[in-house]
A and B are shown apart, each in its own frame.
Chain A
Amino acid sequence: MSADVRILAAEPGCHLFGDNGCGFEAPTIGMFFPEPWYTGIPRSAGIDLYLVLLLVAVGAVLLLWSWFSKKLSLVPGRRQSVGEMLVLFIRDNITRPTMGAKGDSFIPFMTGIFTLILAMNFTGLIPGMIPVNSNLAFTAMFALVIYVMTIVIGVRNQGGWGYFRNQIFPPGMPKPIYVLVTPIEILSVFLIRPVTHALRLFATMFAGSLLLAVFAYGGWYMLNLTAEPLLAGVSVLYSGAALLGYVAFFVFEIVIMLIQAFVFTLLASLYINQSLEAAH
């Protein structure tokens, strides 16, 4: 099913009920470190599959949006309606609930970031491929962009000191509480928040594709048609169960990819809202 599975298939018989006595080799995190094609860049893994998949994702998003936004009319066709639905989905489920009407200017940004992250997740659905966001570098980049945006917007809207004061000293609390709250807020807002923002997306994509790989590897390992007829039949049953699991988790993974793209965008919207609002 995946690239590694194909490699395994080429290797001579490491299967259930095989006679060469080798056991099941689970997929390792090595699958997230594809062999680079060019390594000449210092302090880097170089050019590898991730960058190609990133290119595919970006290309898909560009194509999708140029398709959605061409020949627009007041009476929309099916194609235009889908594009509008996506924009309205972002508006009604992300920017409006978090920022209200004043966040409407962020709809394009949130729509763009949502579709890009979604496309970067969906590369994992291509057989044998991995989600681009299963590498921390990309999610960290997104989180950092949002982090910088929140600070810039916050300082611009509430003034330098005003923004940091609102973040560090949440208003409306009895003074002594700040001894406790302020360190927590500093940690949470300026350290934990961006890190979890990046890690959440990365970890779910990482774990999800690893899980899919386990089912794929297991299914392939348990399939042994060269064994005795009875054992071969059993192996087909085992393998079929693994395939069912794979299909189920594949569907589950699609949902997770959607949810994680949504959650990332929703959190970005929430963080930006805290910078938009003056003292609250």
Chain B
Amino acid sequence: MLVELAAEYNILRIDWVKFTFGAIALAVIYFFVVRKAVPRVMKVLDERHDAIEGGIERAKRAEAEAEEIRQQYREKLEESHREYAQELEKAKEQRAVIIAEAREEAQTEANRIIEAAKAQIEADRQQAVVQLRGEIGALSTELASRIVGETLSDGAAQNRVVDRFLEELEQDESAKQAEVR
């Protein structure tokens, strides 16, 4: 039965009319789909791809710009830090200078005061010496009168009196000097 059918219906026979119509169909599809519709879709795909790529490009550029600005800002910040440190250093130096100057001035002033005090002391001493001389004179006069008042018989006693007087005088003198000092 199959053999009969195969003889009747040859499935491997290529019908030229079908072949031709198939070719026409393909040609139609070629002109309307392959040449027109699909390229249009692809064009939009490419455009979108470009748009997205462009967007990425723009974003990258903006990012680079921001990075640059940040870098500048950072540099400025560092610079100001540096300047601040310099100022601080300078101020420290100035402070040291001022302190040194003040110290020197104070020292000078102190010296001056000391000198003045010394002079004052010298003057006082001189005055004391002068006064003392005066007093010694008076005392000497008194001693002399005392000696004269005593009997001149006892020469030894006279000597002792003189010695004692002188001794007292010396002691007085040194005590006074110590006091002045």
Contacts and interface: CB of A to CB of B under 8 A. Distances in A.
B11 interface: yes
Chain A at the B interface: SS class: helix
Interface string A38-70: 000101111100110010011001100110110
Nearest to B34: A112
Contacts of B18: 44-45, 50-51, 54, 135, 137-138
Interface string B101-125: 0000000000000000000000000
Nearest to B17: A44
Given A46-B17, A109-B34, A138-B18, A74 B48 contact: yes
A107 interface: yes
B178 interface: no
Contact of A141 (B9, B23, B32, B47): B23
Interface in B1-41: 5-6, 8-9, 11-19, 21-23, 25-26, 28-30, 32-41
A278 interface: no
Nearest to B1: A28
Contacts of A45: 15, 17-18
Contact of B33 (A44, A62, A140): A62
Contacts of A50: 18
Contact of B19 (A73, A108, A140): A140
Interface stretch (A29-37, A178-186, A228-236): A29-37
Given A45-B15, A115-B33, A138-B18, A28 B5 contact: yes
A74 B51 contact: yes
Contact of A88 (B16, B43, B45, B51): B45
A29 B10 CA distance: 9
A126 interface: no
Is the interface on chain B under 10, 10 to 19, 20 to 34, or 35 or more residues?
Answer: 35 or more
A108 B5 contact: no
A108 B33 CA distance: 8
A61 B27 CA distance: 13
Interface residues of A, number: 48
A108 B34 contact: yes
A33 B13 CA distance: 11
A87 B14 contact: no
Contacts of A136: 11-14
A184 B14 CA distance: 26
B42 interface: yes
B22 A69 contact: no
B57 to A, nearest CB: 16
Contact of B39 (A29, A61, A80, A108): A108
B15 A137 contact: yes
A135 B8 CA distance: 15
A47 B17 contact: yes
Interface in A88-124: 88, 107-109, 111-113, 115-116
6 contacts: A44-B15, A76-B48, A109-B34, A112-B33, A116-B26, A137-B16
